Structures are given as structure tokens and as C-alpha cells.
Amino acid sequence: MTSWVQALGVGLPTLFLGVVTWLAARMAAQGDVSVGELVAVYGYAAVLVVPVSSFIEGGYDLSRGLVAARGVIRFLASGAVFATVEGLGPATPVPPAAPLTPADDRTPPSP
């Protein structure tokens, strides 16, 4: 999904720039606008590429932030963390019933 959003963030403004330049070039070829006006339109469209790209990527970051916030809220509401407020969970951590061992039971080689 990230690659699609990044492609849209770069591709859509570039496509916009190409379409505007193509239309302005056709108008300049027909004599409706001068060459100076064509350059001005191209410059205006080229400057708009950066804010539009930032807006698209910012929207994607906002959606990722909302998903992450929902996950944090769900985790905190599950009571899996230790809390000192009464009713939210135990006030002190409970030691594990069995000693914790690493998942890899191999003994390291001796030096």
C-alpha cells in the first residue's frame, strides 16, 4: 500500500503538470496565448507539484496515525498494562509462575 501512495504522491502532480503544459502548448500553437504566458502557466503548475504531493502523503500519514491510535486505544482498554488507578488492573506486577527461559535452548559454544 505504501508504494501505491508514494506513486500517487509523485505521479498525480506530474500528470497534472503534463496535462496543463500540453493544454497551454496547444493554446500557444493556436495563438490564443503568448509564449510568455505559456512559460508562466508551466511555472505555476510546476510550483504546485510540491504542495499537492505533500498533501497526498500527509493524508496517507494521517490515515496511518489513526489506525495506530486505534490499536493503542484497544491495547490500553484490554487491561494488559499495569495501572495504579483502582479498577483498571493490578497495582503491582505479578511475577511469572515459572522461570522464563529463552526460546532457543541450545547452549552457547565454550570459548
Higher-pLDDT residue of 72, 103:
72
pLDDT number for residue 17? 86
pLDDT over threshold 80, residue 110: no
Q: What is the pLDDT of residues 45-83, one digit of tens each?
A: 888 888 888 888 888 889 889 999 998 888 877 765 554
Q: Of residues 50 and 88, which shows the higher confidence score?
A: 50
Nearest by Cα to 1 from 49, 69, 67, 54: 67
Tell whether the model's pLDDT for residue 91 goes beyond 60. Answer: no
**pLDDT at res. 92:** 59
